[in-house]
Every structure is written in C-alpha cells, then in structure tokens.
Amino acid sequence: MTFITNHPNHPPPRFTEKLPVGLQITCWKESVDELNLSIPAAGENGLLLTFINYKGDLHIASGDGKDGLFQASPGLGLLSLATQPLLLRSTDPIQLAAVTLFISSDWIDVFLKRNPNFQKIDQALEGEGSIITCRLGRRQLTLFSAIAGHIPQPEADTSSLLEIQNHALCLLEHFFCSRHRNLAGVNASTGIDNEDDLSLIREVESYISEYYCSDTFTVDSILKKTYTSYHKLNFLFKSIHGMTISEYIRNKRIEKSREMIADNVKSISQIAYEIGYSSISNYILAFKKIYRITPGKYKKQMDNLA
C-alpha cells in the first residue's frame, strides 16, 4: 500500500508492519506542545480503522476538515474511508498514541462484504468526511497499549507480529460488533446490551447525581464531559429509564426538592435555587408537572400533617 501525503514536515509513524493476515498496521506516538498530525490517505480504496488514546485536548476530522473538526474523547475507535486523510489537531500540550489498521477493499470483499452487519456500517460511511466512532472498554485499551508499546525489530519476528495481529483483530472485532448494535438500534423493550453504552449510562448517572443541584449544571456539560451526542444520550436514557436525559435530571431535582419541602427548613424560593433553578416560576411549573400540585400547596399539606 502506498501512503499519499502533502505534509512532508509531519512526524513519521513509530512503526508500520504488514500483518500475516493481510492488514497493515501503523502506530504514532507523540508528546508535543502542539499537534498537527495528518494520518495520510491510502493510495487505494478501503477503510481506515484508527484507535486513539491521549492526555490533553484533541480535535479530529476526516478529509480536508472544511466542515470543522470535532472534539474526540480518549479511548476511541474511528472508522473512516481510507481515501481521505484523518486530521488530528491540538493547540495545547498533548500526549497521543494512535494505531491505524488499513483494511483494503480486497480484504473487505473476502472477510466482510457478505456480512449484513458490515453492510449497515458501510452505508453509514457514505458521504465525504464521515466518521463512525466507538468507545473502547478497559480490555480494549489494554490491547491498544500492547500494540502501541510494540518495539519493531530489524529482522522479522513472527511471534511478535502474530501477537500484534491477535490484538488488532480483537480490536477490529470489538469495533464492528459494537457499532452494528448501535446502528441496528436497540429499543426500550429489548434494552441495551452494549457494554460500552451501559458503562456510559453509569458514568452519566454518577455525574448527574454529583452535580445536578448546581445552577451551572447543564445537559451540554454532560455532552462535553462524555464526548457523546445529545441524540445518543437521549436514546440510551429512553431505553433504560423511559425518559429523555433532560426529564431524568428534572425528576431528580424535583424529587430532591420534595424531600427538602418535607423537612420544612427552607423556603420554596431557597429550595428552588439550591436544586439548580434560577427561576422560581420554572421550578413551580416543573414541580406541578410531576406532582399535579404546586410546591406551595404541597408544603401546606405537609404542614397540616405535622
């Protein structure tokens, strides 16, 4: 395979190996104050499966980046067309490791083309600049680290290459299986069986429980922390909880306020502020939507029972 790049000043990869199974694997490791790396396009059709992990801040794009770069999370798999470069940018200090698998069109024809699971993924990549992503779990990150730590030898080391190949195939299998489940869709009646999605839900629930009473807490802050789209989080929360993420947060706040009203220590306006509402009227509307009664009337009921 021939790599094509218009950026001769970019750092060379740490190593490139042709695996016995027919895939080509390439690794980059960088620790720089500012990153401007372009993983070059291939000289033939196929797919580029890239795994990244880093410390710092990273934005990526496939193609020329004319539509802008999006923020990437650490521990991520990225699938893009091999005919387009993958851009990785950071204006801040960053430590980055990236492993790419070039999957040729011939390899796809032999191993993937007839698989209906792959066909959905292939369709999702249609269009310039398309990227499909997948979060890596703990086991996948261990495999990734083993590949990134590979030390190339002057003479071919078959056992070492076979070990790297096994790790790479495990990562490839994880990516395609995980993305098929997401692209096929899992509805509320069947539940979520994707380990990464369940882990993401637990992470978001924990974050909400810690910060939902803050007046600066927003759904957008969750999206930035988890590098997840609003659409995906809503889908997952509807599948698990039967409600959107905004409704989930609202319900936690209102339930907390109901407990505080029952304690009879603070005023309604104080409670509204402490659970994250800057507008008392918005709080009253939210409370009434859930309990069919205003917080003031609910307080009177609690007082009468005392």
What's the pLDDT band for 184 if we cut at 50, 70, 90? very low
Of 66 and 292, which is predicted with more confidence?
Answer: 292
DSSP codes, the chain = --EE-S-TTSPPPSEEEE-TTS-EEEEEEEEESSEEEEEPEESSSEEEEEEEEEES--EEEETT-TT--EE--SSEEEEEETTS-EEEEESS-EEEEEEEEEEEHHHHHHHTTT-HHHHHHHHHT-STT--EEEE--HHHHHHHHHHHT----SS--HHHHHHHHHHHHHHHHHHHHHHHHHHH---TTT----HHHHHHHHHHHHHHHHHTTSTT--HHHHHHHHT--HHHHHHHHHHHHSS-HHHHHHHHHHHHHHHHHHHT-S-HHHHHHHTT-S-HHHHHHHHHHHHSS-HHHHHHHHHHH-
What's the pLDDT band for 138 if we cut at 50, 70, 90? confident
pLDDT (average), residues 39-63: 89
Q: Is CATH 1.10.10.60 the right assignment for the domain spanning 195-305?
A: yes
What's the pLDDT band for 123 if we cut at 50, 70, 90? low
Task: Provide the whole-model pTM.
Answer: 0.58
Q: Which CATH superfamily includes the segment(s) 3-150+157-184?
A: Jelly Rolls (2.60.120.10)
Considering the chain, what percentage of its residues have pLDDT values greater than 70? 84
Domain ranges within the chain, ordered by starting residue: 3-150+157-184, 195-305
Of 72 and 165, which is predicted with more confidence?
Answer: 165
Q: Highest-confidence range of 63-67, 85-89, 290-294, by mean pLDDT?
A: 85-89
What's the pLDDT band for 116 if we cut at 50, 70, 90? low
What digits encode the pLDDT tens for the residues 221-273?
Answer: 888 887 778 888 888 888 777 788 999 999 999 989 988 998 888 999 999 99
What's the pLDDT band for 100 if we cut at 50, 70, 90? very high
Average pLDDT value over all residues in the chain: 82
